[in-house]
Chains A and B, each alone.
Chain A
Amino acid sequence: MRAIDRTWGMDFGKHLRSLNQARIVVAITVAIFVIASATLPGFLTSDNLIAIIRSVSVLGILALGMAIVIIGRGIDLSMVAVMAMSVAWYLQLLNNGCGDHAALALALAGVLAIGLVNGFLVAYADVPAIFVTLATGSFTFGFVRSQLIAQDAVMVPGDHWIIGLGRARPADVPADIYIFLLLAFAAFLFLRFTKWGRYVYYAGDNPMAARNAGMPVRPMLVLRYVLSSLAAFVAGLLTASSLQSINTRVVNSTLLYDIVLVAVIGGIGLSGGKGGVRNILIGAALIGILLNVMTILDIPQLEQNLIKSTILLVAILIDGLLNPRDEQTAQQGDI
């Protein structure tokens, strides 16, 4: 009798432990979705669902770039600055009468340069990623804002292809959504099926072991920061295409925390080596649905922040209770 009890207990414990953060967040998301569909008129319509995905597609693209860096045990705090300033400079060049190809090439070169600097400083100079990217982010903002552009907001010149991109709605779905899903699929293929993609996990889980096993740990690290910078540039272009301008004030907003929030709430541990594209989609879905429901309910801003942070705290708390830190994490510590 006692033996049976014990097995049942172990089974239940195992069951509980498999309820990791990602699954908890899925459960919360589904619950909100079902309740909203049943009670909020106009929630479960194709137009509203498209609007929900669209509201998080730029955030999702940024989070994909961030996820690749975080899984490799890093963090890129320069993403929002790169996103806003690269596109602002690009548009300013166009407004100054520079040719489209030349302007795009210059902006892209700037983006690659920041990704490379981030990567080199982290990989070869061994400076912690959090300091490197914080510094390059401020530098990017300060330099572009003071030297290269005239105002916080830069308009897209009329009849430019970026405006066409914003107006494009194949099958009545905005282009942002296609690009987000396409990039999510590409990131999935990269992380899942390419050699360097698999290496990201090994390097994130244990960089020393990965190096001893002969993986090119440092060049891979540089690549990840280049990828996150490119993701930021795409996110910036999409923002400009929809708003027909880019406002560099976004660098002062909470967008950077929201990117980390999407990754963390979806279950990508900041200690690296864990998670994937699926987690980003989960995190983005929760944030998107939550914001949509709160807007429909006309909940005041201050309470919205409270609700958002409470859900994050609950998810982290449950995860902490069910999945206590193992010895390895305890020794290495989080970033």
Chain B
Amino acid sequence: MRLKTLAAAAALAVAGFGLAAPVHAESDPGPAAYAQAMNGKKVILVPMAMGFDLAQGWAAVLEREVKAFGGTFETRDPNWSTEAGAQAITEAISSDPKPDVLIVMAPDLNSYSRLLKKAQEAGIFVLLIDNPANFAPDAYMGSDWTRLGALEAEAAVAACGDGSSKKIGLVQGDEVNATSIYQYEGIMKVLDAADGFQVVAKPVSNWDPTNSRTVTATMLQQNPDICAIIDFWDGDATGAAAAIRDAGLQDKVKLITTGGGEQTADCDMIENGTYHAVVMTELVREAGDMVAMIKYLLQSGVKPGEHSAHIYTLEQATTKANLRPDSCWNLKALQAMNQ
């Protein structure tokens, strides 16, 4: 009996070995295919400028990932100039070796549309980020600006409450940028549906904090009983905050804005009461989406311009009430990963 068992065990062991050996030789084909598709691929990021938190955050994440798969990563800095950005894209299309993926943040709906189409025709995948444009990219990644505006308006309605004046002031960005136009649409949809709420003024800051301060000061002068102000970007909302501070209305007027979710620009400001609520982009996840799209497109066999999809980043309004230690991302920490 004992001998039989022993023999059976030995047979099993032999069989086991026999089975294991071919599996061992037949290694996972994934890494080789991945390496072949990804190695040496060139990715260029063309944001509106490299000097602000979102662009620096995207670049930090992308650089780490692209380097890891053996590609090269470059950035161009148009420094808020549409012409310089167009030139960077043109130069990228005609450069040798051509980039395989162009990641572009468009300054408005139309300026780059034709150029980006050209890039796709030249065999370059185009990912459009943060600002929508009249053009079908291989993927759009960023905010659904209408939804973002709606979130801001919901935060404003909640901050004002039922017993308030229900008067809201807007500080718009400009009147041509998609982010400003769609954000406005989203805000108005919510406010029109909310009972008794009205927009008493909607001046434009041109994304400049000094302008934002001046127009907010005038707005508060005319309507001292405003209960909330929505400024369209944290880059200029510091101006609206200054006007509220100057008027001594910090406790009465709630300031709501949107931003890239960087620690010093957003979370610190929520904590010290400058902003009541900020609709923030989860940047690391958004950049993660970009990385996933790059990896997919380069392996999929899809041709540039063949398909188009919207990959919206999930957003929420962050206030003191739901602020967590990890609500924001830290630019220095993100950049330190590449050191």
Q: Name the residue of chain B whose CB is nearest to the CB of A151.
A: B51
A272 CB to closest chain B CB (Å) equals: 30
Of the candidates A45, A152, A245, the one whose C-beta lies within 8 Å of that of B238 is A245
Of the candidates B79, B214, B265, the one whose C-beta lies within 8 Å of that of A252 is B79
Which of B64-72, B98-106, B205-213 is found at the contact surface with chain A? B205-213
Chain B CB within 8 A of A206 CB:
no
Instruction: Tally B residues with Cβ within 8 Å of A.
Output: 36
Chain B CB within 8 A of A328 CB:
no
- Residues of B close to A244: CB separation below 8 A: 238, 242
Query: Contact flags (1/0) for B182-208 with A, using CB distance below 8 Å?
Result: 000000000000000000011110111
Chain B CB within 8 A of A242 CB:
yes
Restricting to A273-301, which residues have a CB under 8 Å from any CB of B?
291-292, 295-296, 298, 300-301
Bound Cα distance A292, B217 (Å): 10
Restricting to B58-80, which residues have a CB under 8 Å from any CB of A?
79-80
Report whether over half of chain B's contact residues are helix, strand or loop; otherwise say mixed: helix
Query: Cβ of B209 and Cβ of A245 under 8 Å apart?
Result: yes
Query: Cβ of A243 and Cβ of B218 under 8 Å apart?
Result: no
Chain B CB within 8 A of A181 CB:
no
Query: Contact flags (1/0) for A226-258 with B, using CB distance below 8 Å?
Result: 000000000000010011110111101100000
Which of A51-59, A114-122, A315-323 is found at the contact surface with chain B? A51-59
Of the candidates A48, A252, A253, A298, the one whose C-beta lies within 8 Å of that of B202 is A298
Instruction: Tally A residues with Cβ within 8 Å of B.
Output: 37
When A54-B217, A243-B238 are in contact, do A300 and B175 touch as well, CB less than 8 Å?
yes
Query: Cβ of B246 and Cβ of A298 under 8 Å apart?
Result: no
When A174-B246, A250-B208 are in contact, do A152 and B49 touch as well, CB less than 8 Å?
yes
**Closest 7 pairs (CB-CB, A-B):** A152-B51, A301-B204, A55-B214, A295-B218, A51-B217, A243-B209, A42-B222
Please name 26 pairs of A and B residues whose Cβ atoms are closer than 8 Å in the assembled complex, sorted by A: A47-B221, A51-B218, A51-B221, A55-B214, A58-B210, A145-B51, A167-B245, A174-B246, A242-B246, A243-B209, A243-B238, A244-B238, A245-B238, A247-B209, A249-B208, A250-B210, A252-B80, A253-B208, A292-B218, A295-B201, A295-B203, A295-B214, A298-B202, A298-B203, A300-B204, A302-B175
Which residues does A use to contact B, with CB under 8 Å? 41-42, 45, 47-48, 51, 54-55, 58, 145, 151-153, 155, 166-167, 169, 174, 239, 242-245, 247-250, 252-253, 291-292, 295-296, 298, 300-302
